Amino acid sequence: MEQPASNPPGTLRRLDPRRDLDAVANLVEVAFGLRGDPDGQFVLNQMRENAARQRQEPFLSNLALPSADGYVWEDGGKIVGNISLIPFQAGLRPICLVANVAVAEEYRNHGIATALTRHALRIARQRQGMAVWLQVRHENQVAIGVYESLGFRHFGSVSQYRRAGETPRGTSPLAGYPSLVEVGERQRSEWPAQKAALRATYPPETRWYLNVDFNAFGPRAWYNPLNWINLPRLKHLSFRSGSRWQGTLTWQGTDTRADNLWLAMAKDAVQEEHVSRLLKVFMERIWNGRPLNLEYPMGRYTEGILSAGFELARNLDWMHYLPPQKWPLGVLRKTGTAR
């Protein structure tokens, strides 16, 4: 198996979910500092539950998770490094998402992450045309350096905001709100503009793994029985200036820890203050008090989102490694801020 340049103790081997998942969850929790992070804890709990299932019913669990793959770095029976490979299909293009790259602190700077990532690239290259994607914290220069040295390139940045759960305050009139600016139910006629804004803000390349189908946001979605389960968990609130559509906020109820918000704004510069009002009206009229997640291209409407009571959880860079000769395709060119 692979040995990095400076030859740290240990070897790279394939993850064995039955015996490794708990150790990997512990490593990821410490390496990413996830102790006080509710989203992180949610994912770790899933990992630990999966580990327990794998031990109890290894055959059934393997059937349920046929394609996820992973590699660990082991030294003296202790797992000190990890990389996870999650395959996706974006349209016709096979994509491998690299995640949970973590090395125990005392083993860092010996080339373990480089060796694990290089190995992941080798595995991905065995499949014709497979691109490799990853998300990394915007400020994580060490990890970004490792990925760039292996040929990954930055192609967009997003901010993830969250709002903790609380008892909603209930309906209240919008005192002092300028009369020309109106917030109300989304109109049918606004859907084409909302759809175009959603597609530009959340390109398919970056949301294929999120459980959302923007077609279900349209006013005709009721005609498709496949949408009937999810439609009651979607609500749209539009914001207009005069009679002109300025943007729509969609609430998507989920079964996970937090519900999602999707923000589709008109191309013309909408004032931060109005984005803030749109979110506040949502909180007053629609919010059920569950925690909320909102992702938006980094550097856009930050002030408006924060002043509506959201906190910035993290800024993330998307990076990708495309098969030779096939890039750049210009994905995400309209979103995010180039570093």
Ligand X SMILES: CC(C)(COP(=O)(O)OP(=O)(O)OC[C@H]1O[C@@H](n2cnc3c(N)ncnc32)[C@H](O)[C@@H]1OP(=O)(O)O)[C@@H](O)C(=O)NCCC(=O)NCCS
x-marked contacts with ligand X along 24-53 as a string, rule CB under 6 A = -------xx---------------------
The residue within the footprint of ligand X, chosen from 140, 187, 256, 337 (CB under 6 A), is 140
Residue 109, interface with ligand X (CB under 6 A)?
A: yes
Contacts with ligand X: how many residues (CB under 6 A)?
Answer: 19
Taking the C-alpha atoms of residue 212 and residue 293, their distance in angstroms, rounded to an integer, is: 13
Residue linked to tokens 């539009």: 238
Residue 110, interface with ligand X (CB under 6 A)?
A: yes
Taking the C-alpha atoms of residue 74 and residue 104, their distance in angstroms, rounded to an integer, is: 11
To the nearest whole angstrom, how small is the minimum distance from the Cβ of residue 178 to ligand X? 44
To the nearest whole angstrom, how small is the minimum distance from the Cβ of residue 21 to ligand X? 18
Tokens at residue 31, please?
């390496």
x-marked contacts with ligand X along 67-106 as a string, rule CB under 6 A = ----------------------------------xxx---
Residue 208, interface with ligand X (CB under 6 A)?
A: no
263 φ/ψ angles, rounded to the nearest 5 degrees: -110, 120
For 109-140, give the DSSP string. TSSHHHHHHHHHHHHHHTSTT-EEEEEEETT-
Residue 290 vs 314, nearer CB to ligand X = 314
To the nearest whole angstrom, how small is the minimum distance from the Cβ of residue 102 to ligand X? 4
Taking the C-alpha atoms of residue 112 and residue 244, their distance in angstroms, rounded to an integer, is: 55
First and final C-alpha spacing in the chain? 35
- Binding region for ligand X (CB under 6 A): 31-32, 101-103, 108-114, 136, 140-143, 145-146
